[in-house]
Amino acid sequence: MKLLLSISFLIPSLIFFSQANLEKIKELELEAVTLLHEARKFNTLPEQHEKNQAFEEKIRELMEYNETFTHDFDTLAKLISTIKSPDGAFRIFNWNMEYGDFKEHKYYCLMMKKDPKSGEFVIIELFDHSADFFEDVEFKALTDKKWYGCLYYSIIPIQKGFKTQYTLLGWDGNNMLSNKKIIETMKFNKKDELKFGEAMFKSEEDKTKRRVIFEYTEEATMSVKYQKTKKIEMIVYDHLSSIVPGAEDISHGPWSGPDGSYDGYVLENGKWIRLKDVDARTDKKFKTKYNAPKENR
């Protein structure tokens, strides 16, 4: 009888605290949105850094609440990426800042993940070092401490035995001349450490890549999307060609853009195998292209 009475008093208390937490989360979300708007409107680097740091601290404050992991951030999600992995393993809060006259982008990411031992949520910060990589970045193994920064918009879990690896699709505003699309790979190792760059992308022309990076003119929009059916899993993307007359050999960089054809990667035995001339034009899933957030254009 005493146990039943205790439970009857406990349930209303839990509901009350949960509602209180949700109200606090909504309050913090509005504060975070205000800070991000302020950070993106300032012209001087010191002002931008100061406001961006305040925004990051507000996101960390949000992540102190367990409810943040499943909460729908209707307003914040219009300004940054707040996506959760489909298997419920982690959630990211991922944003960018545009700096200087050349509109160079720097990326920030906080990952919310449940610790397998304690069951408590932990925060993993990713540090953008993309400006340090000038060549061969598609073949480099990276970590959360040395991350190729971008804005992720899709997470694809891939089961390999008893382990799960992830393929992530991302966008990079790069600079005033070009944008980039990134296909990244990610996993947690035996020590639950974050690792980027599993060698998974195979093609006839190149050795196996750890990530795929497309660079194209700022004037264009490139589609890179994931498709899954009962028989096949694919990443389909716009094929890039030169936009400069007489320079047909240029297929990468500020002077290239989509030419109306599609290539792709098909998942086979845990590897992404490149396919040329994929016909995706009649598939409705590929008609809506991913665009950069308006404030980053």
**Rounded mean pLDDT for each run of 10 residues along the chain, 297 residues in total:** 46 57 94 95 85 97 96 96 97 93 88 90 97 90 98 95 94 94 96 96 89 96 94 94 77 88 95 88 44 41
| pLDDT score of 12 | 54
Q: What number of CA atoms fall less than 13 Å from residue 260's CA on the CB side?
A: 1
What is the spatial distance between Cα 297 and Cα 283, in angstroms, rounded to a whole number?
27
Which 3 state secondary structure label does DSSP give 61?
helix
Rounded to whole angstroms, how far apart are CA atoms 47 and 251?
38
Provide the pLDDT for residue 20. 84
Q: How far apart are CA 143 and CA 129, in angstroms?
A: 10
Check if the beta carbon of residue 33 is closer than 8 Å to that of residue 76: yes
Closest CA to 221 of 253, 249, 186, 180: 180
pLDDT at position 116, please?
82
Left (φ > 0), alpha (ψ -120 to 50) or beta: where does 61 sit?
A: alpha
CA distance 137 to 48: 28
Instruction: Give the pLDDT of residue 244.
Output: 83
C-beta atoms surrounding 218 within 10 Å: 17
* Cα 235 from Cα 264, distance rounded (Å): 5
- Cross-strand partners of 104: 99
Q: Residues 149, 153, 159, 163: what is their CA dihedral angle, to the nearest 10 degrees? A: 40
- What's the pTM? 0.87
- Torsion sign across C-alpha atoms 128, 158, 72, 292: positive
Q: What is residue 56's predicted lDDT score, i.e. its pLDDT? A: 98
What residues contact 47, with CB distance under 8 A and at least 6 apart?
A: none
User: Residue 170 CA to chain centroid, in angstroms?
Assistant: 5
> Given this model, what pLDDT does residue 280 score?
57
